[in-house]
Amino acid sequence: MQSLPALLDARLRAVTGVDPEMRPATKPQFGHFQSNVALRLAKTQGKPPREVAAEIIDALDVADLCE
């Protein structure tokens, strides 16, 4: 059985096509894990990071992993 971070990493990688560089959250009040993948993709796509993040959220299916 894979760990939660590994499962989240795999799903983010499948949606974005890049290494999401998952790590423990620096501010636990915002969650357990974090990734700067939206910021990195925003640079390469020439879009605002929030727009890229919204696209990732729309495509990401983690309902069976988190609330």
- Distances 55 to 24, 31, 58 between C-alpha atoms, Å: 22, 20, 5
pLDDT at position 33: 92
Q: Where are the domains of the chain?
A: 4-59
Taking the C-alpha atoms of residue 6 and residue 47, their distance in angstroms, rounded to an integer, is: 28
What confidence tens digit (pLDDT) does each residue in 8-46 have? 999 999 999 999 999 999 999 998 999 999 999 999 999
Strands 23-24 and 33-34, bridge-based pairing: antiparallel
The listed CATH number (3.30.365.10, 3.30.1360.70, 3.30.572.10, 3.40.50.300) that belongs to domain 4-59: 3.30.1360.70
Residue 51: which pLDDT band, with cuts at 50, 70 and 90?
A: very high
Model-level pTM? 0.83
